[in-house]
Homo-oligomer: A and B are copies of this chain.
Amino acid sequence: MCSSSTSSRRRTGGRPRSAEADAAILEATRAALVELGWSKLTMGDVAGRAGVAKTTLYRRWASKNELVVDAVAVLFDELELPDRGSLMADIEGVVLQFAALLERPETKTALMAVIAESTRDEPLRERIRASIVDRQKRLVLAGRRRAQARGELPANPASATGTDDLIFDVIAGAVVHRALVSAEPVDAQWVQRFTALLLGGLAAAART
């Protein structure tokens, strides 16, 4: 995830990069996002908070965008899928978790911004996919397998990947849209109605 992850290519000479600096910078970035939001966040400010020179930031991250992606990505790893006993409860749980994550000011302001930038920046898009998007899909995969184990969904291997991607876009897209575009609360009632809709769709698909 970190830009210095090229572990193999460690040159012999020279002072090694400070490992603590990385952590301090990412933490400072999150703090700055909370206080200032995306558009007011500056590299100089982040450097100051981290007790680090601006040069050090630029030595490790090519741009503000990449820095923010790395700083925020770790928050998405906090999402889990505890077994709540039924597919419905599992979906409701993950949706609420995801909504709570999107309520945090650092994610709320950063996520859409970096996605906006990624429309013009292929490397950034790749980084987002690797750091955030693909890591989320594991939740859908896990949920589906658990539901199949329970017998709630048929063990139908046909185009499981395509379906997983679809489910992922529907869940994540709906929650993001509700929270950020419609700008209305993702409360229990909305989650229940959404889950019901989704389960109905899955059941209908299973019957075919």
Residues of A within 8 A of B (CB): 37-40, 105, 108-113, 115-120, 125, 128-129, 133, 162-163, 165-166, 168-170, 172-178, 180-184, 189-190, 193-194, 196-205, 208
Contacts and interface: CB of A to CB of B under 8 A. Distances in A.
B120 A39 contact: yes
A116 B197 contact: no
Given A133-B181, A173-B174, A177-B176, A193 B163 contact: yes
Contact of A172 (B110, B166, B181, B189): B181
A163 B190 CA distance: 9
A172 to B, nearest CB: 5
How many copies the complex holds: the figure is: 4
A111 B181 CA distance: 10
A156 to B, nearest CB: 14
Contacts of A163: 193
Contact of A169 (B133, B165, B174, B204): B174
B178 A173 contact: yes
Given A119-B112, A177-B169, A177-B172, A162 B193 contact: yes
Contact of A201 (B109, B180, B200): B200
Contacts of A165: 182, 184
A208 B175 CA distance: 24
A201 B200 CA distance: 4
A46 to B, nearest CB: 17
Given A178-B173, A200-B205, A183 B113 contact: no
Contacts of A197: 166, 170, 198, 201-202, 204-205
B37 A183 contact: no
Given A112-B112, A173-B176, A199-B204, A166 B183 contact: no
7 contacts: A109-B120, A110-B116, A166-B190, A170-B173, A176-B176, A200-B201, A201-B201
| Shortest Cβ-Cβ A-B pairs, 10 listed | A200-B204, A173-B177, A173-B173, A112-B116, A201-B201, A197-B201, A113-B116, A200-B201, A37-B120, A173-B174
